[in-house]
Chain A
Amino acid sequence: MNIFRLAGDMTHLASVLVLLLKIHTIKSCAGISLKTQELYAITFATRYLDLFTDYISFYNTVMKIIFLGSSFSIVWYMRRHKVVRRSYDRDQDTFRHFFLILPCLLLATFINEKLTAKEVLWAFSLYLEAVAILPQLVLLQRTRNIDNLTGQYVFLLGAYRALYILNWIYRYFTEARYVHWITWICGVVQTLLYADFFYYYFQSWKKNVKLELPA
């Protein structure tokens, strides 16, 4: 465990906490894409199947359970909670899951580390996570008033991905035979998707004005 990896995981955890804070205390999910949250729930459900097959560390197990539990509870809140669900921007959140899920599934059956169910699902989870933020970014662009918590949530998610890249660079130079091409390429693609958002986020921060993405 290096500092970049730990900082990345903590930033990921912080993003989830910010989102849960918004949903649980303000009882609002305005500006949050249910599509993205469902894609994350599928991502973690398919990637963390190894909870049942491999033990890596106490830290690893606890974090996996947290990310699984939080992603499914966020989906539950947005779909079922009698107050929270009313704030969901259903008409704006129109991205189709299947346009993302199907290509990822196809890609995973062709490009994986080994042709086993576990490895195909692992690759699928990486491809899906790389694009899962797209419905959220589309929704942000359509939202005239992006509240602070939503902006911070997306910023923390992007920061988590950027820190993971630093973690891979560090590990590549410090560990023998540490090579994960699929993870790296997906990670870089995923981080690039945030580039535009980062640009406007820093602009609004520098000028101290409300975040708004150009249509």
Chain B
Amino acid sequence: DDDEGVKDEL
């Protein structure tokens, strides 16, 4: 699952 790593929060 590719988007598992996307962390767009601060």
Which residues from chain A sit less than 8 Å from chain B, CB to CB?
Answer: 5, 9, 12, 50, 54, 56-57, 60, 63-64, 67, 113-114, 122, 164, 167, 177, 180, 183
Give Cα A113 to B7, complex, Å. 11
By secondary structure, the B interface counts as: loop
Q: Which of chain A's residues have a CB closer than 8 A to the CB of B8?
A: 56-57, 60
Cross-interface CB contact of A183 among B1, B4, B6, B9, cutoff 8 Å: B9
Can you list 5 A-B contacts (CB < 8 A)? A12-B10, A63-B10, A113-B4, A122-B7, A183-B9
CB distance from B7 to the nearest CB of A (A): 7
Q: Is the CB of B3 within 8 A of A9?
A: no
Give CA–CA (A142, B9) in the complex, Å: 34
CB-based nearest B residue for A60:
B8
Task: Tell me if A64 and B10 are in contact (CB < 8 A).
Answer: yes
Cα distance A180–B5 when bound, in Å?
10
Min Cβ gap B4→A in Å is 7
User: Which 8 pairs between the two chains have the least Cβ-Cβ distance?
Assistant: A56-B8, A63-B10, A9-B10, A60-B8, A113-B4, A64-B10, A67-B10, A50-B7
What is the bound-complex CA distance between A60 and B7, given in angstroms? 10
CA distance A55 to B2 in the complex (A): 16
- Of the listed residues B1, B4, B7, B9, the one surrounded by the most CB atoms of chain A closer than 10 A to its CB is B9
Contact of A60 among B1, B3, B10 (CB under 8 A): B10
Complex CA–CA separation, A114 to B6 (angstroms): 13
Distance to closest chain A CB from B5 (angstroms)? 8
Q: Which residue of chain B has its CB nearest to the CB of A113?
A: B4
Residues on B with beta carbons closer than 8 Å to the beta carbon of A167: 9
Q: A67-B10, A164-B9 known; 14 other A-B pairs, CB under 8 Å?
A: A5-B9, A12-B10, A50-B7, A54-B6, A56-B8, A57-B8, A60-B8, A63-B10, A64-B10, A113-B4, A113-B5, A114-B4, A177-B1, A177-B3
Min Cβ gap B1→A in Å is 8
